[in-house]
Chain A
């Protein structure tokens, strides 16, 4: 895929790698900074139904310096050989005497002509990419704006102050569940834990196939899996005690997504076999690949998605209820005996992007063992909760049936009347339904095992909406672009989108 999206993503990757190498990958510190990406499109004067799009990537605030601009441009051009747009660098070079805290802001601009639909897709791809980055770089913030014929849409991507789980090598996984699944369809009263609880697996070294050239001299690729059920299974409603889908996220060195949504083939062919790495039968799960991954949603898009097929055994369950998603993160990192160079990281990234399937296949045994153990641990509590839930359901059923037996079998009309009145039931059937419901509602909160998670009742603090509104650049024009709908500036939607900015 050629186009703005790939260019932006590759540039950002290169920037982050450069950033990381400048800070020193060994110190494990999280990258911190802010980047602004803007796309401004106007109807082309030369082509019909075409937009002339100017994309700007700029730093804002502090960022680590040391960026040799002309060299950077050259390198970027070399990694985007098919990119026909002209890259311009319009900022001053960093001076050699500048200390690390003093920064030279930079700005990079390129221009392309695109169809409106392509621009829209590019916008969604970039947004997904940014979401993926901030999931492991919680201190990086992106301001992303798209202005089409004067109509502006602005989003701020950041996860600062959200709970995270520190991983090795300078990345930390954001563990706020809302980024991964949409909020369950239940009342707020039932929401008691907003975190996921990843289980980290044992790191394993990946083997490089002989026909994949040039890698052996660089160092080692280490894969570390992490798995978590989402939402937190410990304190959510009993209706969520089944796994309904699996999402796999692939991250390369420096915590960068390995692939873009459009680049999945053939990188993820190894995942087409749902059981290649994980034995799902032991959990009585039957999975099929899920191809329906819409770009247009405010969640972090996985690289691979599986859907659980419902079996005969599930028909007794409430299939309308939302199940849980098993999140599986595969972090591949690069290690060598020396401080890692930027070029090495980039090469490792490129290798993985192109040959991931081959590498994972070559390392099948060790990868499978590591991932299986990780998933086993993540689902252990799920199994226990499922057992406890079954026990509860069975007991409640016995209790309800026993009470029904006594009430319906009683010859005392006054007793029956009192019973019906207690639950405000008009007849036996309604009494039974209300009895079951009452028992269920009474027990579901108290029954679930205590969760040591920090209880977070207020998931979406309203104060941040106001703060984000101030940052929004407006210029709402009533004009609408002809053609397919594009993101347009809407102050109400702006609040909603920006609510994930600060936790």
Chain B
């Protein structure tokens, strides 16, 4: 074994092992996944050729005395999104598109910025270097105006070229943390050994480049909040539940954190669970990991892990554990709107248990943070709640 056994006895993981077996069986029934997880990354030459093709189209239009136009899928429209249980949210094959014209006052700047970022990407790919979205913004912050403009254009280019962002040599700044039974080597040769101690390792910025990943974790726990993650580290959760891996995206996850979770699932097929607050925001974050977001639906195959299960905090746990009412928080108007929005999403229909939990929350009009469990005891979360959930299959 790669790691010294310091966690519970093997029988603790029986249910987990059964769960994993069922997941693998489901995968086999579904045709399985290729070793790379079903994603196809574009090579550098393919990316360069795609960009050159775009430039040629622009020049052809100019030669014909026509204003060049970029046609881009409407990523921000629900009518262009479909749900597939095995993938999550993804774009429909023939979706509505929008035109970015070079001869329209409203879009000429956008047209120019797309070309600008294409030229930056071209250079990055040619030189086999990487840059973050923030780096790109700072190449000419006055021109771009704000980071959101850059982010949207990069996503538009990824969608337009049908190339995942990582192939464009644009990395997102990682904000996530990892801890637990995991080792790998980064692209530059750095060996990373995530520990089970009180410190965590930052999610690498180049997930595509990591190799020699080694783990014997029985499960991967995605923790919504950094505070909860740190608490679990302090409580030595990784050691006591070893072998396991913990990840946090510190709220809404960045792309690299999602890619890492995806990579660990695709490589090892270890059960993935989420630990989120019992509130609409936490549920939405969980859905992003599991099914993806509308904005990134064009890259769903690279990012989603439909096998994720909701471990806690479930709204039904609140009543079951007699969590004091004064530790609960009333749903705000925004919470209500978000909850209604999530309930209407296509993936909820195939998750009846999730729907039921959300309905419990809607009926009670109350929400609870994971920290509410500390009212039962300070280490209730790491010593009682999570171990029981994991041992007895308390996930949905």
A422-B62 in contact given A398-B113, A405-B122, A406-B55 (Cβ < 8 Å): yes
Residues in B with CB closer than 8 Å to A419 are 55-56, 59
Cα–Cα distance between A411 and B105 once the two chains are bound (Å):
34
Cα–Cα distance between A435 and B51 once the two chains are bound (Å):
18
Chain B: CB-nearest residue to A398: B112
Residues in A with CB closer than 8 Å to B51 are 406
Chain B: CB-nearest residue to A415: B52
A409-B56 in contact given A423-B63, A442-B62 (Cβ < 8 Å): no
A407-B55 in contact given A399-B111, A402-B112, A402-B116 (Cβ < 8 Å): yes
Residues in B with CB closer than 8 Å to A441 are 65
Q: Across the interface, do A443 and B119 meet the contact criterion of CB distance under 8 Å?
A: no
Report A390-438 residues with CB < 8 Å from chain B CB. 391-392, 394-396, 398-399, 401-403, 405-407, 409-412, 415, 418-419, 422-423, 435, 438
Whether, in the assembled complex, A388 has its beta carbon less than 8 Å from a beta carbon of chain B, the answer is: yes
Residues in A with CB closer than 8 Å to B14 are none
Residues in A with CB closer than 8 Å to B55 are 403, 406-407, 415, 419
Which single member of A402, A403, A407, A447 contacts B108 (CB below 8 Å)? A447
Q: Across the interface, do B65 and A442 meet the contact criterion of CB distance under 8 Å?
A: yes
Chain B: CB-nearest residue to A405: B119
Whether, in the assembled complex, B123 has its beta carbon less than 8 Å from a beta carbon of chain A, the answer is: yes
Q: Across the interface, do B126 and A409 meet the contact criterion of CB distance under 8 Å?
A: yes
Whether, in the assembled complex, B60 has its beta carbon less than 8 Å from a beta carbon of chain A, the answer is: yes
Residues in A with CB closer than 8 Å to B41 are none
Q: Across the interface, do A406 and B52 meet the contact criterion of CB distance under 8 Å?
A: yes
Chain B: CB-nearest residue to A448: B105
Q: Across the interface, do B123 and A405 meet the contact criterion of CB distance under 8 Å?
A: yes
Q: Across the interface, do B62 and A398 meet the contact criterion of CB distance under 8 Å?
A: no
Residues in B with CB closer than 8 Å to A435 are 59, 62
Q: Across the interface, do A439 and B111 meet the contact criterion of CB distance under 8 Å?
A: no
Which single member of B48, B102, B105 contacts A439 (CB below 8 Å)? B102
Cα–Cα distance between A398 and B116 once the two chains are bound (Å):
7
Give a binary string over B112-138; 1 marks a CB under 8 Å from any A CB, 0 the rest.
110110110011001000000000000
Give a binary string over A250-263; 1 marks a CB under 8 Å from any B CB, 0 the rest.
00000000000000
Residues in A with CB closer than 8 Å to B123 are 405, 409
Chain A: CB-nearest residue to B53: A415
Minimum C-beta distance from A289 to chain B (A): 37
Residues in A with CB closer than 8 Å to B60 are 422
Q: Across the interface, do A423 and B112 meet the contact criterion of CB distance under 8 Å?
A: no
Residues in B with CB closer than 8 Å to A402 are 112, 115-116, 118-119
**SS class of chain A's interface: helix, strand, loop or mixed?**
helix
A406-B122 in contact given A419-B59, A423-B62 (Cβ < 8 Å): yes
Q: Across the interface, do B118 and A446 meet the contact criterion of CB distance under 8 Å?
A: no
Which single member of A388, A409, A446 contacts B122 (CB below 8 Å)? A409
Residues in A with CB closer than 8 Å to B118 are 402, 406
Residues in A with CB closer than 8 Å to B79 are none
Q: Across the interface, do B112 and A442 meet the contact criterion of CB distance under 8 Å?
A: no
Residues in A with CB closer than 8 Å to B56 are 415, 418-419, 422
Minimum C-beta distance from B101 to chain A (A): 8
Cα–Cα distance between A425 and B67 once the two chains are bound (Å):
19
A442-B67 in contact given A391-B105, A406-B118, A435-B62 (Cβ < 8 Å): yes
**SS class of chain B's interface: helix, strand, loop or mixed?**
helix
Cα–Cα distance between A28 and B118 once the two chains are bound (Å):
64
Q: Across the interface, do B52 and A442 meet the contact criterion of CB distance under 8 Å?
A: no
Residues in B with CB closer than 8 Å to A423 are 59, 62-63
Minimum C-beta distance from A78 to chain B (A): 62
The number of inter-chain residue pairs (CB within 8 angstroms) is 98
Cα–Cα distance between A441 and B62 once the two chains are bound (Å):
9
Residues in A with CB closer than 8 Å to B18 are none
Whether, in the assembled complex, B66 has its beta carbon less than 8 Å from a beta carbon of chain A, the answer is: yes
Q: Across the interface, do B115 and A399 meet the contact criterion of CB distance under 8 Å?
A: yes
Residues in B with CB closer than 8 Å to A403 are 55, 58-59, 115, 119
Q: Across the interface, do B119 and A395 meet the contact criterion of CB distance under 8 Å?
A: no
Cα–Cα distance between A84 and B73 once the two chains are bound (Å):
85
Q: Across the interface, do B105 and A392 meet the contact criterion of CB distance under 8 Å?
A: yes
Residues in A with CB closer than 8 Å to B52 are 406, 410, 412, 415
Cα–Cα distance between A391 and B110 once the two chains are bound (Å):
11
Cα–Cα distance between A446 and B68 once the two chains are bound (Å):
12
Q: Across the interface, do A422 and B102 meet the contact criterion of CB distance under 8 Å?
A: no
Chain A: CB-nearest residue to B110: A395
Whether, in the assembled complex, B396 has its beta carbon less than 8 Å from a beta carbon of chain A, the answer is: no
Residues in A with CB closer than 8 Å to B115 are 398-399, 402-403
Whether, in the assembled complex, B187 has its beta carbon less than 8 Å from a beta carbon of chain A, the answer is: no
Minimum C-beta distance from A275 to chain B (A): 33
Minimum C-beta distance from A40 to chain B (A): 57
Q: Across the interface, do A396 and B112 meet the contact criterion of CB distance under 8 Å?
A: yes
Minimum C-beta distance from A424 to chain B (A): 8
Report B45-89 residues with CB < 8 Å from chain A CB. 48, 51-52, 55-56, 58-60, 62-63, 65-68
Q: Across the interface, do B65 and A443 meet the contact criterion of CB distance under 8 Å?
A: no
Chain B: CB-nearest residue to A418: B56
Whether, in the assembled complex, B234 has its beta carbon less than 8 Å from a beta carbon of chain A, the answer is: no
Whether, in the assembled complex, B103 has its beta carbon less than 8 Å from a beta carbon of chain A, the answer is: yes
Chain A: CB-nearest residue to B63: A422
Q: Across the interface, do A388 and B119 meet the contact criterion of CB distance under 8 Å?
A: no
A446-B67 in contact given A406-B122, A439-B62 (Cβ < 8 Å): yes
Chain A: CB-nearest residue to B61: A442
Residues in B with CB closer than 8 Å to A412 are 48, 52
Residues in A with CB closer than 8 Å to B351 are none
Whether, in the assembled complex, B175 has its beta carbon less than 8 Å from a beta carbon of chain A, the answer is: no
Which single member of B58, B65, B105, B111 contacts A388 (CB below 8 Å)? B105
Residues in A with CB closer than 8 Å to B104 are 446-447
Q: Across the interface, do B62 and A395 meet the contact criterion of CB distance under 8 Å?
A: no
Q: Across the interface, do B103 and A443 meet the contact criterion of CB distance under 8 Å?
A: yes
Give a binary string over B325-336; 1 marks a CB under 8 Å from any A CB, 0 the rest.
000000000000
Residues in B with CB closer than 8 Å to A418 are 56, 59
Q: Across the interface, do B66 and A391 meet the contact criterion of CB distance under 8 Å?
A: no
What are some 22 contacts across the A-B interface (CB < 8 A)?
A388-B105, A391-B108, A391-B109, A394-B109, A395-B108, A395-B111, A398-B115, A398-B143, A399-B102, A399-B115, A401-B119, A403-B58, A406-B118, A406-B119, A409-B126, A415-B56, A418-B56, A422-B63, A435-B59, A435-B62, A443-B108, A446-B67
- B residues near A, CB below 8 A? 48, 51-52, 55-56, 58-60, 62-63, 65-68, 102-105, 108-109, 111-113, 115-116, 118-119, 122-123, 126, 143
Nearest first, the 4 A-B pairs at minimum CB distance are A402-B115, A422-B59, A398-B112, A446-B103
Known: A399-B115, A422-B62, A442-B62. 12 other contacts (CB 8 A): A406-B118, A409-B122, A415-B52, A418-B56, A419-B56, A419-B59, A423-B63, A438-B63, A441-B65, A442-B66, A442-B67, A443-B102
